[in-house]
Amino acid sequence: MLNKNLSQMNSTEIKEYISKVLSDNSNNYDYELLINLLLEDERKSVKKISDRVKLFVENREKEINRVTNMYKFDLEFSKSTYIAGVDEVGRGPLAGPIVAAAVILDLNIDSTQDLLLKINDSKKLSEKTRTELDLIIKERALSYRIEEISGEEIDEKGIAWCNNEVLKRTVIGLDIKPDLVLSDGYAIKNCPFENKFVIKGDSKSASIACASIIAKVYRDNLMKEYDKLYPEYKFEKNVGYGTKEHIEAIEKYGCSPIHRKSFLKNIMNFINN
């Protein structure tokens, strides 16, 4: 509901009110009415605030169209089956596990208010946005699953095998068995369900994008916990990737129990020589 008594508010109060309205994810507002109320106000400073609301509405419509197309992309495969989007994060770091997530969404929505706005390739989103979406995705998903494979198993069996295996374990572990699995980038070997891969799927498919987000939030949070155990490596900052600061810490302190020894051969050979 809109507060229609804008005339009784000063410009600072109106700006604060507008900020609250535009940050409310429920979108239960008549923005056209709000713009008209602002324009009808005699104060120039208040009229000018309407430009901010207009820009918000324009951007929101673009976002609705973008995300609608992501839902449509998935629905083109089938409108009557369970589609699981699956993605992994952490293939390339020097430390920590590789993590995968699978998500089954209700793609047949009745209202734009049911769209998961802002979903995208997790790397394109801020940490704040990913964290907010992580909760919403888990709440709305028909089913989701997260799996991880440790750095120790990566050293033992190789990253290629572990990458495929963690994706496979994730889709197998879903409470709802999917009729189709959409994977990002490449097909899953020995997948027990029909599987199609999508190049840059985390920016095209709603289901894959959601999987990308919850996988990254899970792994980032895990690396923050490891940072408390091994603060010298700054895992909270680099989440295990080979930044200059991280490599310098390895050279100084050696490997931690969560480092992937097979990824550090060149670094360790350099140190030992």
58 marked ligand binding residue? no
| CA angle (126, 127, 129) in 5-degree steps | 65
Beta bridge partners of 204: none
pLDDT (0 to 100) of residue 41: 87
Distance CA 130, CA 121 (A): 10
pLDDT of 99 reads 98
The pTM for the full model equals 0.89
Beta strands in the chain (DSSP E): 83-89, 98-104, 143-149, 180-184, 195-198
Q: Taking the chain, what is the end-to-end CA distance rounded to the nearest angstrom?
A: 70
CB 104: neighbour CB atoms within 10 A?
A: 25
Q: How far apart are CA 45 and CA 12, in angstroms?
A: 10
* Owner of token pair 């992937």: 260
97 contacts 225 by C-beta, under 8 angstroms: no
Burial of 77 (0-12, 13-18, 19+ CB in 10 A): middle
63 is in an annotated binding site: no
Residue appearing with tokens 């599987």: 195
Token pair, residue 266, equals 């060149």
74 annotated as a binding-site residue: no
Regions of the chain where pLDDT drops below 70: 1-4, 25-28, 266, 268-273
Residue 144: what residue type?
Answer: Y
Using CB atoms within 10 A of its CB, is residue 141 exposed (0-12), middle (13-18) or buried (19+)?
Answer: buried
Distance of alpha carbon 28 from alpha carbon 33, whole angstroms: 12
Look at residue 264 in the predicted model and tell me its pLDDT.
92
CA distance 167 to 165: 5
Q: CB atoms < 10 A from the CB of 106, how many?
A: 12
Is residue 122 within 8 A of residue 223, CB to CB? The reply is no
pLDDT in tens, 114-144: 899 999 999 999 999 999 999 999 999 999 9
Kindly report, residue by residue over 231-273, the tens digit of the pLDDT.
999 999 999 999 999 999 999 999 999 999 999 986 765 455 4
pLDDT at 2: 53
* pLDDT for residue 273: 47
